[in-house]
């Protein structure tokens, strides 16, 4: 499938806005209505979700997650919003920062790639391919490099 240059440029423009502002700060963006969320493109939804959890605001991040989400992660399949929140909570708690590397989207999905810094490791790259319906992430293919975490645990003697 050929790459649509307009979508790549739209993703780059969205990343530039996030980088320039540092975060989505308005109260309106924190409490988006379902109607407003459903009008967002999948890329906008993925970026808003990423910005929320990378700011350690899991409550706001979960506004973008469908109740029946299915997430395929390195540790296995996670089904449902409650299980997904339980999966994300420990990571969000140890998060120190993120750096967005790339983001792309089409009419039904988006992919974001980033590097994270946590209390355990200085660099842990990750990527998510999400499917969005009505402004909510209904599925996620979540990949991250487990090796930095395994090495940190080994050094700590765990």
With bands split at pLDDT 50, 70 and 90, how would you rate the model's confidence at 20? very low
pLDDT of residue 17: 43
Q: Is the pLDDT of residue 18 over 60?
A: no
Q: What is the CATH number of the domain that holds 87?
A: 3.10.450.50
pLDDT of residue 105: 97
- Distance between CA atoms of residues 38 and 33, nearest Å: 9
Q: Helix 42-54 and helix 5-21: axis angle, to 10°?
A: 30
pLDDT surpassing 80 at residue 37: no
Closest of 11, 41, 39, 14 to residue 107, by C-alpha: 41
Quick one: average pLDDT of 20-42? 58
Full residue range of the structural domain in which residue 134 is found = 5-156
**Residue 10 burial (CB < 10 Å; 0-12/13-18/19+)?**
middle
**C-beta pairs of 15-20 under 8 Å, 24+ apart in sequence:** 15/47, 15/100, 15/102, 15/103, 18/47, 18/51, 18/100, 19/100
pLDDT at 68: 98
Q: What is the mean pLDDT of residues 54-68?
A: 97
At 150, is the pLDDT very low, low, confident or very high (cuts 50, 70, 90)? Answer: confident
C-beta of residue 148 within 8 angstroms of C-beta of residue 123: yes
Q: Span 58-70, mean pLDDT?
A: 98
Q: Is residue 131 scored above 50 in pLDDT?
A: yes
The answer to pTM > 0.85 is: no
Of 106 and 32, the structure prediction assigns the larger pLDDT to 106
The count of domains in the chain is 1
């Amino acid at each position: 499938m050929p790459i649509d240059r307009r979508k790549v440029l739209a993703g780059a423009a969205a990343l530039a806005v996030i980088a320039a502002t540092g975060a989505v700060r308005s109260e309106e963006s924190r409490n988006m209505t379902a109607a407003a969320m459903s009008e967002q493109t999948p890329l906008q939804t993925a970026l808003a979700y990423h910005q929320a959890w990378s700011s350690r605001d899991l409550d706001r991040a979960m506004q973008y997650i469908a109740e029946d989400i299915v997430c395929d992660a390195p540790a296995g399949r996670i089904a449902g919003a409650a299980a997904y929140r339980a999966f994300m909570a420990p990571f969000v708690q140890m998060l120190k920062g993120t750096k967005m590397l790339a983001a792309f989207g089409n009419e039904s999905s988006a992919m974001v790639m980033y590097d994270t810094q946590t209390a355990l490791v200085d660099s842990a790259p990750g990527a998510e391919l999400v499917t969005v319906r009505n402004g909510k992430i209904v599925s996620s293919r979540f990949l991250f490099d487990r090796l930095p975490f395994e090495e940190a645990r080994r050094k700590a003697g765990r």
